[in-house]
Amino acid sequence: MIYQRARFCMILFLAAVISGCSDPPVDHFQGYIEGEYVLVSSPIAGSLQTLAVSRGMTVVHGDILFVLEHAYEEAAVSEAEQGVVKAENILADLSKGRRPPELAAIEARLDQARSSYTLSRAEYERRSVLIANGSIPQEELDRARTDMDLNVALVAQLTAELETARLAARSDILGAARSDLQAAAFRMQQARWRLEQKTQNAPTSGFVFDTFYREGEFVPGSFPVVSILPPGNIKIRFFVPETVLGTMFIGQKLTASYDGSKDTIPATVSYISPQSEYTPPVIYSRETRSKLVYMIEAVPAAEHAAALHPGQPVDVRLEHSND
């Protein structure tokens, strides 16, 4: 009887110990540092001419990262600029009418036609007097009238021609010239954009985590050449069980520490995954649901971000509102 009672007490003690060991703390978790990298590439392929950075460097926004060979793009820009100049000249020429020497030639012909008209009119009036006296036949008067009418028509023709020469081209021709100029300007902008893409600058400040090509190698379009890790892209990632998930919220405060650190690092929860994860296959039941975990991400304080490195393990402690 005494033996059975002692055995029963031992079983209760072991059960209490096992139960206490199986319940992990609800505010302490293991985690690690994760980095979200900025991959810098050029949309246009080319040989890597200059790699201005190396792994481990710190860059600021606007620093040159790399330059691809761009002789073809420079030639295309020069050709496009010449096309714009040509289109501008054509439009200007159509807008101004004919050149001054051409206008002067038409004006000289008009002055000559007016002089001929004055002379033919005087001849016609003189012959009209003579025909009344019977001194000349009717044919000479008719001939003088015809010459005067021809000179009147010539003066009218040259006057209209001079007015037309002073005008610009027709509206449809001017519209086509403006469209040609606009298309040339678009081609120039495109050529300049392609040239600019051969030189890539740092889109953000940060740490050069890696470079993927060496100078002289061919870089396909849109393939990253440099990866940058901005301080603001460093996250603390850890996992909490389903039983703790209900206490988590965006903006929740926590602290993190790592091996060798003297002080804790404050951080703020920025993301709570809506999807559960688990390592061994489990059955979704009340007995096993505690094995389900959910990913949590937190942003560390900016002044501590430089001391954290992707893959580094950390210990996370949650801070509750009732602490």
Q: What is the pLDDT of residues 159-189, one digit of tens each?
A: 877 776 665 556 777 788 889 999 999 999 9
Measured CA to CA, the distance from residue 264 to residue 276 in angstroms comes to 28
Residues 73/249, Cβ–Cβ less than 8 Å: no
Top pLDDT among 189 and 133 is at: 189
DSSP string, 231-293: GGGEEEEEEEEHHHHTT--TT-EEEEE-TT-SS-EEEEEEEEEEEEE-SS----STTTGGG-E
At residue 111's C-alpha, the angle toward residues 109 and 116, to 5°, is 95
- Residue 237 tokens read as 């990632």
Contacting residues for 225 by C-beta, under 8 A, at least 6 apart? 40, 41, 42, 48, 51, 65, 66, 200, 211, 212, 213, 219
- State yes or no: pLDDT of 9 exceeds 80: no
Amino acid identity at 295: M
d(CA 232, CA 267): 12
| Domain spans, the chain | 24-36+231-318, 38-69+197-229, 78-192
* pLDDT band per the 50, 70, 90 thresholds, residue 10: very low
Q: What is the mean pLDDT of residues 77-92?
A: 93
Q: How confident is the model at residue 196, as a pLDDT?
A: 97
Q: What is the pLDDT of residues 278-305, one digit of tens each?
A: 654 444 455 545 578 899 999 999 888 8
* Contact predicate 216/201, CB 8 Å: no
The domains spanning 24-36+231-318 and 38-69+197-229 adopt the same CATH topology: no
CATH architecture of 38-69+197-229: Beta Barrel (2.40)
pLDDT digits (tens, 9 = 90+) for 229-270: 999 999 999 999 888 888 999 999 999 999 888 889 999 999
79 CA to centre of own chain? 23
CATH 2.40.30.170 fits 24-36+231-318, yes or no: yes
Give the pLDDT score at 289: 52
